[in-house]
Amino acid sequence: MIGAVSAAVAVGLGAIGAHGLEGWLERTFEPAAASARLENWQTAAQYQRFHALGMVVVGLLLQRSTSKWIHAAGWLMLLGTALFSGLLYVYAVSPAKWMGPIFPIGGFSFIVAWLLLGIGAFTQAKPS
């Protein structure tokens, strides 16, 4: 459920970025900064969509498994979505720069999540 909701939000935010945000950014920031911020917004949406699908996969796998690795992978994907995509959305539309050091934590969460998902899928018991 969390993955599906995250995917829906990502599509909506991606659409805002594609159809309405550019003009506001151009009025609010210098042209080069506006372009970079729009790119940041689209990157956030892209990563959120990708990891929303990952969370859906985690949910499906957890219907057949109680793997702690797969469970942890889902939570790390959610954390990564909040810290990377969520803060990147905020960064794209605000002058705040304090978020920069937090983005790598979100990215690292994504990497670890995929590794844990792989471990969980490899080590889970095979159905008989």
Q: What are the extents of the domains in the chain?
A: 2-121
pLDDT tens for 47-59 read 999 999 999 999 9
pTM metric for this prediction = 0.88
Q: Is it the case that residue 125 has pLDDT exceeding 70?
A: no
d(CA 78, CA 7): 12
- Tokens standing for residue 73: 């992978």
Distances (CA, A) of 121 to 30, 63, 76, 94: 47, 13, 16, 40
pLDDT tens for 85-114 read 999 999 999 988 788 888 899 999 999 999
The distance from CA 72 to its chain's CA centroid, rounded to whole angstroms, is 16
